[in-house]
Copies of this chain bind each other. A is one copy, B any other.
Amino acid sequence: MPALPTLLVLDADPPPRLGRLTGRARIAHADETTLAGQLPYADILLVWDFTSRAVRAAWPGEGARPRWVHTASAGVDHLMCPELAASDTVVTNARGVFDQPVAEYVAALVLAMAKDLPRTLHLQERREWRHRESQRVAGTKACVVGSGPIGRAIAKYLKALGVTTAIVGRTPRTGVHGPGDLNRLMARADWVIAAAPLTPDTHHMFDTRRFGVMQPSARFVNVGRGQLVDETALAEALSKRWIAGAALDVFEDEPLTSDSPLWEVPGLIVSPHMSGDTAGWRDELGAQFVELYERWEAGQALKNVVDKQLGYVPGH
């Protein structure tokens, strides 16, 4: 009988659904302190704690390396390092699980801002009845930056709400604008939605210059990665009323500490990186990994394979 493959799981809480692999894999657990020592003995690494940067730190070390790394997240920026990128190891991600939840979350933010819901809740706390006119969402224009499944799901939801929506991606193709159109599309948008992967190209792509081209009535939403945005520039754009509002679900440093000035930037909604996390999401992530494991076990091609140079799963 051949030896069972060793599946090393980087986690704080054990993932659900892995019981299905009983007798089919030797499952070991690692934390940030033990990961480096265990990596040489693992065939597969499951990065369940996707908030951790331990892989990036441990990977360049000595010894053998897993042939397959799966991360229970859409982004892979927290684990990619030059040594992993240069290796033969296959990296897969949780493509698909977050599309609809994140798209719903963006729709919630866009509608809440259009309907002035934060102010309504604030006035309710003060027991003040103050009628205001709100905005119609249908007929507005959006620019979604990020042409992966999440960006496309966001665009689909916005279109269902009657919003004229353009998608911007790295490579222009049918239905997707290239980076050269970004400034022009941002300048006419009522809503700019950031849903791009974090790569050297996208780091701080939303900066003073980009907020400067937006309309004073426009609003900005980030559900991608915190490092897409120059947070200081955004805070300044809001304070100076270059733009009308913004919502951030992701931040350069997470969790945001209580002394961060971002909590109180006027017109900014702060949420704790929760856009994709609907009830049952851990089950879905676990089931998705088990499905990939079964393909790997059967010698079939994996799905959701990340292009390690690009930093995301390329697709149509």
Contact string, A273-293, partner B, CB cutoff 8 A, digits 1/0? 110011111000000000000
**Given A134-B278, A160-B161, residue A112 in contact with residue B108 (CB < 8 A):** yes
**Which of B101, B124, B134 is A269 in contact with, Cβ under 8 Å?**
B124
A105 within 8 Å of B by Cβ?
A: yes
A19 within 8 Å of B by Cβ?
A: no
**In the complex the two chains form, is A130's CB within 8 Å of B272's CB?**
yes
Q: Select from chain B the residue with minimum beta-carbon distance to A128.
A: B258
Complex: A107 Cα to B129 Cα, angstroms: 22
**In the complex the two chains form, is B115's CB within 8 Å of A105's CB?**
yes
Complex: A120 Cα to B132 Cα, angstroms: 23
**Which of B107, B136, B273 is A100 in contact with, Cβ under 8 Å?**
B136
**Which of B112, B272, B273 is A112 in contact with, Cβ under 8 Å?**
B112
**In the complex the two chains form, is A256's CB within 8 Å of B108's CB?**
no
A271 within 8 Å of B by Cβ?
A: yes
A315 within 8 Å of B by Cβ?
A: no
Give how many A residues have a beta carbon under 8 Å from the other chain's beta carbons: 53
Identical chains in the assembly: 2
**In the complex the two chains form, is B101's CB within 8 Å of A136's CB?**
yes
A305 within 8 Å of B by Cβ?
A: no
**Which of B100, B255, B270, B278 is A124 in contact with, Cβ under 8 Å?**
B270
**In the complex the two chains form, is A108's CB within 8 Å of B104's CB?**
no
Q: Which of A129-165 contact B (CB under 8 A)?
A: 129-138, 157, 160-162
A316 within 8 Å of B by Cβ?
A: no
Q: Select from chain B the residue with minimum beta-carbon distance to A274.
A: B131
**In the complex the two chains form, is B131's CB within 8 Å of A277's CB?**
yes
A121 within 8 Å of B by Cβ?
A: yes
Complex: A107 Cα to B112 Cα, angstroms: 9
**In the complex the two chains form, is B105's CB within 8 Å of A274's CB?**
no
**Which of B127, B255, B278 is A129 in contact with, Cβ under 8 Å?**
B255
A118 within 8 Å of B by Cβ?
A: yes
**Given A124-B263, A124-B270, A131-B273, residue A108 in contact with residue B100 (CB < 8 A):** no
**In the complex the two chains form, is B118's CB within 8 Å of A111's CB?**
no
**In the complex the two chains form, is B118's CB within 8 Å of A272's CB?**
no
Chain A interface (Cβ < 8 Å from any Cβ of B): 100-101, 104-105, 107-109, 111-112, 114-115, 117-118, 120-124, 127-138, 157, 160-162, 254-260, 263, 269-274, 277-281
A-B complex: 10 closest residue pairs judged by Cβ atoms: A108-B111, A129-B255, A160-B160, A136-B278, A127-B258, A127-B263, A108-B115, A131-B272, A129-B272, A124-B270
